[in-house]
Amino acid sequence: MRAFAASTLLACLPLWMTASHQDRGADKTAAPASPPLQPTADPELQCLALNIYHEARSEPELGQIAVAQVTLNRVQSPAFPGSICAVVKQGEPMPGRCQFSWWCDGRPDRPTEPIAWQQALAISKRVITDKVVDPTQGALYYHTTSVKPDWAGRFKRTTRIGRHLFYRPARS
């Protein structure tokens, strides 16, 4: 995996600790959110774990690994930003304009399920340290089986894992 610049790491403070992110689209009349789980010391690990947690916590372990691997595949691709946090946060802060829907859905991003959060952290560590094989065959994109996005036809489907279909550019 390519090295991450220190300035990039500093820009990736734990997501639920930044006031601008916390307040983004929040419903001020809703019941208070449960307290956040303890953030990690490594912002890149934190971003990857949050992406696994929000995109795939109901998936089997292999499905969670696959979502993590797509994130890292994007980091390695010149078509995407060069850090995990930048890939996860890519897009405009409005519904439907982000690469990962949870990032701009207006809901709090704090993990509230301790077991799922711990699993997401453990999977993040394994994937970041190259202790797993990429089950997506180099995929850069995925979607759930419940939707049929128009972009899917432009890419080569590599596999299905759980309720996700994975894709990569047709020429890679």
- Residue 129, domain CATH: 1.10.10.2520
In terms of DSSP bridges, do strands 164-169 and 155-161 run parallel, antiparallel, or are they unpaired? antiparallel
Which run of H or E residues covers position 168? strand 164-169
**Domain assignment present for 158:** no
Q: Is the CB of residue 53 less than 8 Å from the CB of residue 116? A: yes
Which of 18, 10, 20 lies closest to 41 in space, CA to CA?
A: 10
Stretch among 43-57, 95-109, 130-144 having the lowest mean pLDDT: 95-109
User: Residue 66 to residues 48, 71, 118: CA-CA distances in angstroms?
Assistant: 12, 9, 17
Please tell me the predicted confidence (pLDDT) of residue 96: 60
**Domain assignment present for 159:** no
**Domain assignment present for 61:** yes
Q: What is the pLDDT confidence band of residue 38, given thresholds at 50, 70 and 90? A: low
Say yes or no to pLDDT of 109 above 60.
yes
Q: Residue 80: which domain range?
A: 41-135
- What whole-number distance in Å separates Cα of residue 25 and Cα of residue 138? 34
Choose between 161 and 149: higher pLDDT: 161
Q: What is the pLDDT confidence band of residue 69, given thresholds at 50, 70 and 90? A: very high
Mean pLDDT of 126-151: 92
Q: What is the pLDDT confidence band of residue 92, given thresholds at 50, 70 and 90? A: low
Q: Encoding tokens for residue 130? A: 């190259």
**Domain assignment present for 86:** yes
Stretch among 19-28, 40-49, 75-84, 147-156 having the lowest mean pLDDT: 19-28
**Domain assignment present for 48:** yes
**Domain assignment present for 108:** yes
Look at the chain and report how many structural domains it folds into. 1
User: Residue 50 to residues 28, 123, 150: CA-CA distances in angstroms?
Assistant: 23, 11, 26
Q: What is the mean pLDDT of the chain?
A: 77
